[in-house]
Amino acid sequence: MPVTQFDMKYVEAAGLVKFDFLGLKTLSVLKEAERLLAEQGIEVEFSTLTWDDPDVYELLQRGDTVGVFQLESEGMRRTLAAVRPTNFGDIIALVSLYRPGPMDNIPMFGDRKNGRAELAYPHPMLEEVLKETYGIFVYQEQVMQAAQVLAGYSLGEADLLRRAMGKKIKSEMDAQRARFVEGCKAHNITPAKASELFDLIDKFAGYGFNKSHAAAYALVAYHTGWLKAHHRPNSMPRR
């Protein structure tokens, strides 16, 4: 009997672990490509690929990504050409940003990455947290890290903050704001500035993506991009 989305919401409450298996079709395509290449005497081991293959990033920067997992829509191809990713972290970030809400930050992300705009951080203490995404909140993990760095949250408390910001229940949010503002005092952050930072974090927490999820997507994207960059069928035109 198939399990519905309605059933799944009770899984966590029952103390069970829920797994989402995504991208299975593309994984099958990769496996079949590996088999076909082996028939031609070409051995491919995806787990040993380096993450800095210039041919892959050249392909991404051209927006030549039809058939590349998560990166083949027309809008994403334009985004890749504008942002010009140069490392695996950029792929993770773009997979996370290319959604309603976060998408508004893509121009700023690209401008800061490519030196067209100055890097800026909401608070100097957040530089290490936000350096990889050029001063922009992108991931849920960054929301949790910010609470730890600024207000001394434990990892468990930071996860509760993330959940509260997702649910937007006023009583929970009021309690979290008070906890956050009080915690910031240890770093000489005024209540007004702490409340401002809380509002900023809350804004991004509403649509922040889970980095570990995005990294798994980016991994499959990189592998399919590598195949297209190095083993493109002769009959396939470049777009």
What architecture is domain 25-38+50-99+211-226?
Orthogonal Bundle (1.10)
Mean of pLDDT values over 105-132:
96
- pLDDT digit string (tens) for 199-220? 999 988 878 888 999 999 999 9
pLDDT of 141 > 90? The answer is yes
Instruction: Identify whether the C-beta of residue 20 lies closer than 8 Å to the C-beta of residue 36.
Output: no
- pLDDT digit string (tens) for 33-42? 999 999 999 9
- The owner of tokens 């051209």 is 62
Instruction: Identify whether the C-beta of residue 140 lies closer than 8 Å to the C-beta of residue 212.
Output: no
- pLDDT digit string (tens) for 215-224? 999 999 999 9
Q: What is the pTM of this model?
A: 0.84
- The domain locations on the chain are 25-38+50-99+211-226, 124-205
Q: With CA atoms as reference, report the closest residue to 143 among 188, 88, 196, 210.
A: 210
Q: With CA atoms as reference, report the closest residue to 128 among 155, 148, 102.
A: 148
